[in-house]
Amino acid sequence: IGVGLVGFGLFFLLFGILLYFDSVLLAFGNLLFLTGLVFIIGFRRTFTFFFQRPKMKGTSFFFGGLLVVLMRWPILGMLLEAYGFISLFK
């Protein structure tokens, strides 16, 4: 189930970007991606991954970007999320 949710999340993210940053598709893709991640590695491990002290900057940018996308500013939100994603997984 988790791999399917992550796959659909990535599909909706890509489709939202291809349709000129459609905020509804981007928000839905983000939520599916995070839900799939929780299903794959578990709630506790997901929480500890995102909220480690050295990764707080990346986490704040990632979730801040998600919040900005939900507020219907998709380009700025995706830029913030991309920076947070790179900062989390470097």
Measured distance CA(61)–CA(64) in Å, rounded: 5
Q: State both tokens at 19.
A: 């349709």
In eight-state DSSP terms, residue 56 is H
Q: Hey, where are the domains in the chain?
A: 1-51, 54-89
**Predicted local confidence at residue 74, as pLDDT:** 94
Per-residue pLDDT for 90 more than 90? no
Number of CB atoms found within 10 A of residue 44's CB:
9
pLDDT tens, residue by residue, 46-82? 999 999 999 999 999 999 999 999 999 999 999 999 9
Give Rg (Cα) of the chain: 13
